[in-house]
Structure 1
Amino acid sequence: MIEKIKVLHIVEALGGGVYTYIKDLSIFFGKYNMIFDTTIAYSSKRPEVSNLDLKKELSNGVTLIESDMNKEISLKDFKSIYELTKLCKSLQPQIIHLHSSKAGILGKIVSLFYNKAIVFYTPHGYSFLRKDISFIKKQFYYYIEKFTTKFLGGITIACGDSEFEYGKKMGKALLVRNGINIEYILNKFKPSKVYNQCITIGIVGRISYIKNPWLFNKIALNNPNLNFIWIGDGELRKTISAPNITITGWLNREEIFTYLNQLDIYIQTSLWEGLPIAPLEAMTFQKPILATNIEGNKDIVLHGKTGFLFTNENDIQEYIEILKDTSTRDQMGKAGLKRCMEHFDLNKNFTILKNIYLDCLNKDIQID
């Protein structure tokens, strides 16, 4: 009988794209529970988590444990470090995989008190890239990342090419791109035989600072003859004032796919990202992408081939005009699907992660 490999995932920011990633990871590794004993320790303090039935959403092939972690750095972190250390000594994992910047800091400190595991760390968007904090705070976060990696160790597993470049500057880094279940999503794709009378442009996600709803609103105001849809809801809903924008409110996955099918163009107005999932799903639905030219987005979009990268509400106008042509949209949409299949296939990319886990423990185990 093969002794199971114990893997502990520690997640503080269980929301948005990180939640989708962890959900998909749980399903993938849940299928290999004869090899991996997977535990996910997560913070339930994020508002995004409170409305989720995690035991129903995540695979029953993994174990879920609530952990007391906070988003911001505070004295409460000492309690978190104590609780996580206690958890590690109880579970005795051989691999610890940290997700998000805060979990990365806490987990690396925990490794001082529990040194029996190989530590991996995926930032899912470095905190020093945030645009909602001061320059001083960005520098503070940058040096925390740099020094915790230098002195506490750990191997960065970047979720995108831009994150990989930053990771290599910090220390040892590997690249395992975010991915999506292409086969599953393609089954939800319903190509329309009748084109919209009016071009429809949409985004999926929480109406929050990171998604820059102000820019989305400006673009809509500059294009009053086009339809815009925000698929989601959020605390900054009131920033949306353009009369040609529809806000759907919170939807389940099936409803989101229904709206994605209706779009002519997908837009990503984010201020910063790790490697966003929603544009990948839109590309699988063969939608051309308009995205801000930032880390994460530029790892996905090939400018002029699968869509366009823009910097503000003015330079996007040229690209909107180009994409009014149906054949151009179709051509870019097909190129986007091809790119997804080549680089962002969830099963291929999680297989790479699985092999990293096995290789780091020198386990020669054959699993399909």
Structure 2
Amino acid sequence: MSGILHVTQCLGGVETYIRSFHDHDGFADFKERLLVAPSACALTKEWENCGGTVDILPMPRELSITSDVRATLSLFRTIRRHKPNVLHLHSSKAGAIGRAAALFCKLLGQKFQVVYTPHAYYYLALEGHRRFVFLWIERILSHFTDRLLATSPSEASRSIEDVGYPQRKVVTVSNGVATTPVHTSPPTGKSHTPFTIIFVGRICHQKNVELLIETVAQFKSSESVVFQIVGAGHYDSDRQQLDALLETAKVDTGLVEIIPWLDHEQVLDRFRQADACLVTSRYESFGYVAAEAAAAAIPVVATNVDGLKDIVEDGKTGFLLTDPSGEQLASCIRRLIDDPQLSTSMGRLGKDRINSYFNIAANSQLMRKFYSSIS
């Protein structure tokens, strides 16, 4: 295969996705590997160090006719210049701009495959008429997409049922995380106190921090439990928002350990030391936090949304709740506290599930087969 061009407007989970598959040779069959990203980051540096080409193309998340037209024309020129076999678009904004640029290129006779990975459709974050409008934008753009590459089975289902992709266009190659053989797993059912619940995520609408705080507020420090909130201080406004929510809910400050930011290895170490993981997201496409927590053999208590419903088996590897209250989530956590044997069993089964279905090394080979089938 000759060349692949990845385009992303956002980093975060998308950056983790591209880095993970890149590190495990998911794109190794392409002689030329190009990446268009909104800014320089660890991914772009790693990409260049491995012989890839990087173009920086700012793509503001908000709608802007001037900026969006400029980005479309710039990407059009990039596609014309590099002539990739595969154009792989990541996230809604890059997906829209990329498919517009691809359409113009194809009208001029250029041939390549357009692959789109939503990484959680943007319309899921919206309500009312805006949700309706952006859903219809996705439906229209689906006609200019050769393959929808979903990051999870539930994202594939949503693409077919909500957006209207024909089943023949939809392929699932699940995201994955690094795993270890089950027999080498460290012991779970930790004997230390207090019982530690970890939450990892940005302070934003998607992660539903309000529900997190509502859950924490159900506990008292006398219950020997602590909630570690990781990622709440990268921006000053994040910490201010979190502090305001804690104060409004009258949360016992002894219950909470706020950790501004950690690198990836430090986060993994925190998972290994924790007793359970709480994920309160309003929507996801996959859910790296839940997967990495399960890989560390701890149970996951999560909302029943796309991605998370693929990772967590309710009652087996953790608890999965639809539109839960903080009280309901707290009840699940108390079950784990009161029954160490259940907690240990769920952790081990969760690790088994990650090894079986969300192993990045194995899924990278599936990615290579997918690209080979369309190139």
TM-score band w.r.t. shorter chain:
0.7 to 0.9
Q: Which stretch of the first structure deviates more once superposed, 68-77 or 156-165?
A: 68-77
Q: Given the alignment of the two structures, is residue 331 of structure 1 paired with residue 345 of structure 2, yes or no?
A: yes
What CA distance in whole angstroms lies between the structure 2 residues aligned with 1:173 and 1:146?
A: 14
Once the two structures are superposed, the pairs formed by residues 157-236 of structure 1 within 5 Å of their partners are 157-169=149-161, 170-171=164-165, 172-183=169-180, 191=187, 195-224=191-220, 225=223, 226-234=225-233, 235-236=237-238
Counterpart in the other structure of 1:355: 369
Q: Which stretch of the first structure deviates more once superposed, 298-307 or 235-244?
A: 235-244
Q: What residue identity is the alignment partner of 1:232?
A: G
Q: Given the alignment of the two structures, is residue 153 of structure 1 paired with residue 142 of structure 2, yes or no?
A: no
Shift of 1:194: 5.2
- 1:241-295, CA deviations, whole angstroms, 9 ceiling, x for partnerless residues? 2311111111112221222122101010111111111111110100100001222
Counterpart in the other structure of 1:109: 100
Residues 237 and 212 of structure 1: CA distance in aligned 2, closer, same or farther (over 3 Å): farther
- 1:181-213, CA deviations, whole angstroms, 9 ceiling, x for partnerless residues? 2149999x7546852222111111222221111
Shift of 1:232: 1.6
Match of 2:120 among 103, 110, 125: 125
Match of 1:315 among 299, 320, 328: 328
Residues 134 and 31 of structure 1: CA distance in aligned 2, closer, same or farther (over 3 Å): closer
Percent identity (aligned): 29
Q: What residue identity is the alignment partner of 1:53?
A: A
What CA distance in whole angstroms lies between the structure 2 residues aligned with 1:250 and 1:305?
A: 31
CA contact (8 A) 2:188 2:344 kept: no
Q: What residue identity is the alignment partner of 2:43?
A: L
Counterpart in the other structure of 1:53: 42
Residues 247 and 60 of structure 1: CA distance in aligned 2, closer, same or farther (over 3 Å): same
Shift of 1:180: 1.0
What CA distance in whole angstroms lies between the structure 2 residues aligned with 1:227 and 1:347?
A: 34
Q: Please give the secondary structure, in 1, of the residue aligned with 2:215.
A: helix
What CA distance in whole angstroms lies between the structure 2 residues aligned with 1:84 and 1:37?
A: 17
Residues 185 and 19 of structure 1: CA distance in aligned 2, closer, same or farther (over 3 Å): farther
Q: Kindly report the root-mean-square deviation, in angstroms, between the aligned alpha carbons of the 2 structures.
A: 2.2
**Larger RCO (alpha carbons 8 Å, 6+ apart):** 2
Counterpart in the other structure of 1:366: none
Counterpart in the other structure of 2:36: 41
Q: Please give the secondary structure, in 2, of the residue aligned with 1:266.
A: strand
Q: What is the TM-score with the length of structure 1 in the denominator? A: 0.88
What CA distance in whole angstroms lies between the structure 2 residues aligned with 1:157 and 1:312?
A: 33
Counterpart in the other structure of 2:15: 19
CA contact (8 A) 1:85 1:110 kept: yes
Counterpart in the other structure of 1:10: 7
Q: What is the TM-score with the length of structure 2 in the denominator? A: 0.86
Q: What residue identity is the alignment partner of 2:286?
A: L
What CA distance in whole angstroms lies between the structure 2 residues aligned with 1:332 and 1:42?
A: 39
Unmatched 5+ residue regions in structure 1? 362-368
Q: Please give the secondary structure, in 1, of the residue aligned with 2:24.
A: helix
Q: What residue identity is the alignment partner of 1:164?
A: A
Unmatched 5+ residue regions in structure 2? none
Higher helix share: 2
Counterpart in the other structure of 2:291: 280
Counterpart in the other structure of 1:303: 314
Q: Please give the secondary structure, in 1, of the residue aligned with 2:80.
A: helix
CA contact (8 A) 1:185 1:281 kept: no
